[in-house]
């Protein structure tokens, strides 16, 4: 792996060469042809901005889904590790899952990996992790999934239904394999080293369908081990679509971090705090002086405000192109882009908070009483 | 460890130097003084033959139990790995647990480690292990535990109640520790390496009491890791009493094996089969000719028939002494001892089978509906 950046399931740092990751991880590029096939199968006949802007850019076996997508041939599985407050980067895979559910009516399974976070984070107790899990469910419920087609579960609570599948994966994976894929060492604790099997269990929830996992490219090692083992134990290989990582506020390298509050916008950040963070910390592609900026133009590619608009917040293709051009030509300043971003972010967060309040009562359905949840507990 | 024999949680072979194991494992000898203290606290004022004959011979922290035993300060935990048919050697710890329950009224928890056996035995499916588990529960129910003070559970079924405790142990044990204690290698699969944490979970079932584990000395590595970690995570160190291993039919070295049917008497062996196995295979301490035998006397110490009578089947101290003396003096032949053994074994097995039939209806209570079982499922 290139020395300048590092992407594992545990750590992301440096400026990421996403094209190179496709080669290193052995995934496939999500080509324009595949995206067009996907678009034609949607109800809306329009791709989500993540696809249109190549933020979701890589896949494993997505053709298999496309081949028979209209016949309810897949379900979606994604999850959340409840180790700290959620920021906007954490919503990416849920937003993708929601879009897939809206367009194709598929079931969505959302794992809260409280077991993993307890084992990986030295200072967290089971009680603390559980408290965070419940908080996070509220944020995820705000996305507005179909309460009869969506199942939220915490690993420690749903373990009875995960354990037997996890054991089957575990039996076929030895410490050498896990070390090669996850970088485990002799200091890795036994809870941490068992966890990948739990994370793989939901890939066998619906045996007659494909499991499609929308997740960050950094999570691919899990699916690699799943795909190595699945067919040996009578399950289908998981399929995946990989998104890039939302860059942190300070610059295009690395990943937002729950532990460094300045690197991300949290779902609970106030409008004032959002404004301050962006104005103070957002890495700019503008020039040192206004004069230079007008003469040379800005560099949108490295401008975090521009990138956030591009990836997440300005879905209008015309408008984003206009911003790009004006900024590039020096007709728009870095401050102006930041202003647009702050407004967009705050309205996004305001809507999120309203939805969170509105959907509070759905959590019980997602977890226990909705149609899918009931079926999953009955198994 | 001495090169002539090997005792780990996975493998027992060679002639075992039990005294040396106390030093190697760092356990304590169960002294005459401790046994007398135990005897004085029993209802019957009589020790079980396993204690009287030093078959249970080693312990960890048993003094702590003795200090306050009359005040219900402990519970008993033992278990069974359902990988093949049960033989008489498998009953040792259940017989010990039953005696403790009769004398002290303590709760008894019996784990069926279906998860472990599935992970450790390459050729076993979850379905096969489950079938064996249910068969084994019938054998264990024959022991006649108190249905309101005994809880039988399968790991995969009761996992929700084991998992959180197991995670706490797992978080504090890394692969180096586990390798040192269990001899895990890079080829050990991730289910096998996680399992010790599951086996340790019941040591925290009753937080205000001591957990006392009657088990073979070969299982001690588990309790060692439990005792290393327990106090760090707010639980008590497990206490244990260790029995020696019932020698296999072929001779005093090693352990009975579920995979070699000639080495053991199975609970389902017919009287005819028992007779044949003993007469054909039981290692004898007799002399090559009757003349020599009468002249030199037999060697009871290496005579398997004598040892089985001593350990398990002839509880009458006078009678066993008489057999020993007569055999030693050459007044009793090897064939005569075998005849006594066959009779005792067959009457033991006959009684076991009757109890198995009689207690069939108790399994539901042990598992789900007895007083203790109900409490354990409510937790």
Binary contact (B170, A196; C-beta < 8 A): no
- Number of Cα atoms under 13 Å in the Cβ half of residue A178: 28
User: What is residue A183's predicted lDDT score, i.e. its pLDDT?
Assistant: 87
pLDDT in tens, B198-208: 999 999 999 99
Binary contact (A170, B191; C-beta < 8 A): yes
Over 50: is that where the pLDDT of A1 sits? Answer: no
pLDDT in tens, A289-332: 999 999 999 999 999 999 999 999 999 999 999 999 999 999 99
Compare A122 and B261 and report the one with higher pLDDT.
A122
Question: Å from B161 to nearest chain A CA?
Answer: 9
Strands B108-112 and B74-80: parallel
User: What is residue A14's predicted lDDT score, i.e. its pLDDT?
Assistant: 61
3-state secondary structure of B103: helix
- For residues A175 and B365, what is the distance between their CA atoms, to the nearest angstrom? 40
User: What is residue A255's predicted lDDT score, i.e. its pLDDT?
Assistant: 65
pLDDT in tens, B125-137: 999 999 999 999 9
User: What is residue B274's predicted lDDT score, i.e. its pLDDT?
Assistant: 97
Over 60: is that where the pLDDT of B188 sits? Answer: yes
- For residues B246 and B263, what is the distance between their CA atoms, to the nearest angstrom? 11
Binary contact (B164, A126; C-beta < 8 A): yes
pLDDT in tens, B18-46: 999 999 999 999 999 999 999 999 999 99
Q: Which candidate from B173, B188, B190 shows the least CB-CB separation from A189?
A: B173
pLDDT in tens, A128-187: 999 999 999 999 999 999 999 999 999 999 999 999 999 999 999 999 999 988 889 999
Q: Which of B191, B228, B229, B235 would best serve as a mutation to test chain A binding (most A beta carbons within 10 A)?
A: B191
Backbone region of residue B183 per phi and psi (left: phi > 0; alpha: psi in -120 to 50; beta: other values): left
For residue A336, the Cα-to-chain-centroid distance in whole angstroms is 29
Instruction: Give the mean pLDDT of chain A.
Output: 93
Question: Å from A89 to nearest chain B CA?
Answer: 28
pTM, rounded to two decimals: 0.93
Helices B175-182 & B190-200 angle (0-180, nearest 10)? 80
User: What is residue A252's predicted lDDT score, i.e. its pLDDT?
Assistant: 81
- Tokens encoding B312: 């398990």
Helix/strand number for chain B, H first, E second: 18, 9
pLDDT in tens, A201-245: 999 999 999 999 999 998 898 899 999 999 999 999 999 999 999
pLDDT in tens, B356-371: 999 999 999 999 999 9
- For residues B166 and A166, what is the distance between their CA atoms, to the nearest angstrom? 15
- For residues B14 and B291, what is the distance between their CA atoms, to the nearest angstrom? 31
Q: First vs last Cα of chain A: how many Å apart? A: 42
Compare B3 and B148 and report the one with higher pLDDT.
B148
What mean pLDDT comes out for the span B5-19? 65
Alpha helices in chain A (DSSP H): 18-25, 32-41, 49-52, 62-67, 92-104, 114-120, 126-141, 155-171, 175-182, 190-200, 220-229, 271-281, 290-296, 304-308, 317-328, 334-359, 363-364, 371-378
ipTM of predicted complex: 0.92
- Tokens encoding A314: 């300005």
pLDDT in tens, B215-267: 999 889 889 999 999 999 999 999 999 999 999 999 887 667 767 788 899 99
Q: Which residue has the tokens 């080293």?
A: A193
Beta-carbon count within 10 A of B126 CB:
17
Nearest one of B236, B257, B238 to B248, comparing CA atoms: B257
- Tokens encoding B209: 């009491």
Q: Which of A139-143, B84-88, B179-183, B184-188 has the highest mean predicted lDDT (pLDDT)?
A: A139-143
Compare B253 and A53 and report the one with higher pLDDT.
A53
Element (DSSP H or E) covering residue B116: helix B114-120
Q: Which residues from B are below 8 Å from A when comparing CB atoms?
A: 115, 118-119, 126, 156-157, 159-160, 163-164, 166-168, 170-176, 178-179, 184-194, 196-197
């Amino acid at each position: 792996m290139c020395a300048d950046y590092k992407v594992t399931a545990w750590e992301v740092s440096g400026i990421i060469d996403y094209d190179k990751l496709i080669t290193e991880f052995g995934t496939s590029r999500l080509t324009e042809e595949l995206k067009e096939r996907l678009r034609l199968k949607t109800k809306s006949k329009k791709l989500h901005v993540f696809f249109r802007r190549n933020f979701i850019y890589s896949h494993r076996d997505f053709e298999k889904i496309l081949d028979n997508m209209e016949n309810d041939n897949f379900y979606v599985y994604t999850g959340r590790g409840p180790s700290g407050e959620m920021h906007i980067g954490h919503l990416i895979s849920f937003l993708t899952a929601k879009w897939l559910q809206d367009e194709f009516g598929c079931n969505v399974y959302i794992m809260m990996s409280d077991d993993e976070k307890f084992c990986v984070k030295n200072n967290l107790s089971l009680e603390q992790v559980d408290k965070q899990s419940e908080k996070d469910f509220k944020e995820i419920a705000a996305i507005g999934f179909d309460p009869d087609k969506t199942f939220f579960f915490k690993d420690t609570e749903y373990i009875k239904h995960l354990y037997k599948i996890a054991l089957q994966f575990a039996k076929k994976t030895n410490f050498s394999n896990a070390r090669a894929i996850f970088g485990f060492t002799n200091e890795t604790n036994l809870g941490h080293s068992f966890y990948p099997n739990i994370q793989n269990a939901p890939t066998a929830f619906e045996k007659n369908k494909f499991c499609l996992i929308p997740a960050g490219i950094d999570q691919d090692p899990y699916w690699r081990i799943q795909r190595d083992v699945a067919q040996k134990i009578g399950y289908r290989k998981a399929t995946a679509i990989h998104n890039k990582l939302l860059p942190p506020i300070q610059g295009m390298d690395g990943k937002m971090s729950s532990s460094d509050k300045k690197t991300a916008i949290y779902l609970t950040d106030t409008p004032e705090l959002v404004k301050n963070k962006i104005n103070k910390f957002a890495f700019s592609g503008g020039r040192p002086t206004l004069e230079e900026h007008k003469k040379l133009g800005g560099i949108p590619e490295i401008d975090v405000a521009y990138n956030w608009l591009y990836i997440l917040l300005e879905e209008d293709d015309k408008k984003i192109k206009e911003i790009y051009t004006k900024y590039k030509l020096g007709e728009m300043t870095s401050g102006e882009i930041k202003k647009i971003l702050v407004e967009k972010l705050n309205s996004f967060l305001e809507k999120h908070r309203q939805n969170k309040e509105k959907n509070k009562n759905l959590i019980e359905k997602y977890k226990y009483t909705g149609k899918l949840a009931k079926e999953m507990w009955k198994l």
